[in-house]
Amino acid sequence: MLAALAPTLAALPFIVTTSSATADKRAVEGLRSAGQQTGTLLARALYVPWREVDGLAAAARDEDLNSTFRIRLDTAKRLDDRLSWLGVAGPNGRVVAAVDGTLEGQDVSERAWFRNGLDGPFAGDVREAVLLQSLLTPAGEAGEPLRILDFSKPVRRAADGALIGVIGVHIHWNLVRDLIRETARPERADILLVSRDGTVIVGPAGLEGTRVQPLRGVLAAGQGVVATAEEEWPDGGRHLSVTMPVPGYRNMPGFGWSLILRQPSAVAHAPAREMATQLLPPLLAVSLLLLLVGLLLARALARPLSGLVATAEAMAMGRLDEPVPERRDHREAAILSAALARLQSALTRAPSTAAPAPQPVSWHGVERLPITVGSAHS
């Protein structure tokens, strides 16, 4: 029985390891797939307001940046409620046209969207709206700070390419936050959006707004690379995580964000344990079946041979009158049966040349064999 079970027992660690590795690979692929889907959805969602910026910048090249341009800005705002503010500032940093006239005449020369927008397309990370906080209705729940993203782009005159201003658009942060929170994900998995400096800007309540370095996943996020890690997180528990940068989309500038998809290790590795548990009973059943088949086969082979063995022993004792049983159960038995029959026939026909067996001699009641003296030639 041990011989039948030995191959299964020897192969079991390999089978369990292989199945566990396959299940773990699927867990990583599930997290990676969810991350790629989320990143693509996020990039496409942000491309909509960026396309608005691109279109407005192109239109501004041929128009005077005055109150008439405000009509175009107002129309864009009404068509997309994800935009919280749109405006154009002159080269000196003064807002010359804005949606609903908000911030017109204000100096925005120190704002990151304006400074970076002078040099080229710019995407600014999430921030609290300082100037607009008291002017616009806060997004989300009452009392919650207004948080926005920035897009900006230089406006150059079509005739000579001279800089005539910077167009800026503020996007409600809810666009990103809600998309991340509502995206489908594997069982009990979290999706974290991490900024370039390693700050969690969307994620579980205990982590949002914090920098959770030096976790390998977060370090990879800061470097904008794809990585897989399994480690203890500060908010409790060991997690399997996959980190990947948010992909770019067409000509839209990037924010330098990364996504971290994490899943509790116990949940991620559960399919591997379940697979190992499911494999064990069939393997044992196969082993027992092999054992049973082996016993039946051994019995089938041994039955015809037992009679032939008895015949061979009788022939060895000089009894040639016992018939050799004819066996045709299997090839080996048939060959052995025929060979014994030929041997018995040959021994029966051969003349006896052997010397008569010595007779025992009685000596004081004790039988002793006579002592044979060597011949004269010895």
Q: What is the pLDDT of residue 133?
A: 75
pLDDT in tens, 188-229: 999 999 998 889 999 998 899 888 767 888 888 778 788 999
CATH of the domain at 101: 3.30.450.20
pLDDT in tens, 277-315: 666 677 667 777 777 777 777 776 666 666 677 777 777
336 pLDDT above the threshold of 50? yes
User: Between helices 270-316 and 331-349, what is the axis angle to 10°?
Assistant: 10
The answer to whether residue 371 sits within a structural domain is: no
pLDDT in tens, 249-264: 999 999 999 999 999 9
131 pLDDT above the threshold of 60? yes
Q: How many domains does the chain have?
A: 3
pLDDT band at 274 (very low <50, low <70, confident <90, very high): low
Same domain, residue pair 259 and 285: no
Q: What is the mean pLDDT of residues 108-132?
A: 92
Domain region containing 240: 187-267
Q: What is the pLDDT of residue 270?
A: 85
Q: What is the pLDDT of residue 277?
A: 67
Same domain, residue pair 212 and 233: yes
352 pLDDT above the threshold of 60? no
Same domain, residue pair 237 and 299: no
368 pLDDT above the threshold of 60? no
